[in-house]
Amino acid sequence: MNIYPYLNFDGKAEEAMTFYKSILGGEFEGGISYFGEAPGMDLPEDEKNRVMHISLAITDSLKIMASDTSPSMGHVWIKGNHNYVSLNADSQEEGARIFSALSVGGKVEMDYQKTFWGAYFGSFEDQFGIGWMVNYDLKPGEE
């Protein structure tokens, strides 16, 4: 079983996912679907270019999916709903790189630093309002 985070945005899904791809790598699976491409949907013009679905495959077992809200269909985007995407880095350096890059323009809650529980950890809300936690578990003998 795999669990994939599915993020919602208020008209910023394509911009956010392109930003995440530039930092985390990967490829968009199946392109980007827009609300305006769906047959039979009567949408206001300003919603037709909103993303209905986008999937960023980072590895074979890790992907992040997303969509925009559609206000005319009653969707409400709520910033700061206390959900986080938690990333576990392969090294302290990779964690520092990811934290620094993803947190640009956002609000850092806890700097990426060594913790008392034997890890490097930091958390922030990114420029798109998404919560992130970046962690690296220290191996025996590492500082």
E-assigned strands of the chain? Answer: 6-9, 27-28, 33-34, 51-59, 62-68, 84-88, 107-114, 119-125, 131-137
Other Cβ atoms less than 10 A from the Cβ of 84: the count is 14
Q: Is the pTM of this model over 0.85?
A: yes
| pLDDT given at position 102 | 97
Q: Does domain 6-70 have CATH number 2.60.40.10?
A: no
Using one digit for the tens of pLDDT, what is the confidence trace for 80-135? 666 899 999 999 999 999 999 999 999 999 999 999 999 999 999 999 999 999 99
| pLDDT given at position 2 | 83
Question: Under CATH, which architecture does the 84-137 domain have?
Answer: Roll (3.10)
What are the residue ranges of CATH 3.10.180.10 in the chain? 6-70, 84-137
User: Is the CB of residue 132 less than 8 Å from the CB of residue 123?
Assistant: yes
Using one digit for the tens of pLDDT, what is the confidence trace for 42-77? 889 999 999 999 999 999 889 999 999 988 888 777
